[in-house]
Structure 1
Amino acid sequence: MIPHKQLSLADIFIDCQNKFDNDKYAFLETLSQTIDLDEIVPVSFITHFHAVTG
């Protein structure tokens, strides 16, 4: 039987930190594949951010 290893948040953080330190492009690519900013950032914020002021 194969023993199971439960991942902890610390293990995931260390893996992310190592990837960030060693290959920033791969880290950013992984983030862009897993996090959908359109779900997090509201449209009203985007329109106000890009609005011409002054």
Structure 2
Amino acid sequence: MAVLESFDREHPAMTLSEVAQLTGMTRAAARRILRSLGHLKSDGREFSLTPRV
């Protein structure tokens, strides 16, 4: 849930490192969560929420 909550108006799109830093997770943990959530899309570098959220 912390990963989804880290996206807001100030951070509509973030890199893996930014998500890890904002949530206090390791990059590996953040990567696993980002890839497993169906509510995010990636352009190869940045992740952002999909309209489904």
| TM band (smaller chain) | under 0.3
Higher strand share: 2
Greater Rg by CA: 1
What TM-score comes out, normalization by structure 2 length? 0.27
Higher helix share: 1
What TM-score comes out, normalization by structure 1 length? 0.26
Q: Which has the higher contact order (CA 8 A, sep 6+)?
A: 2
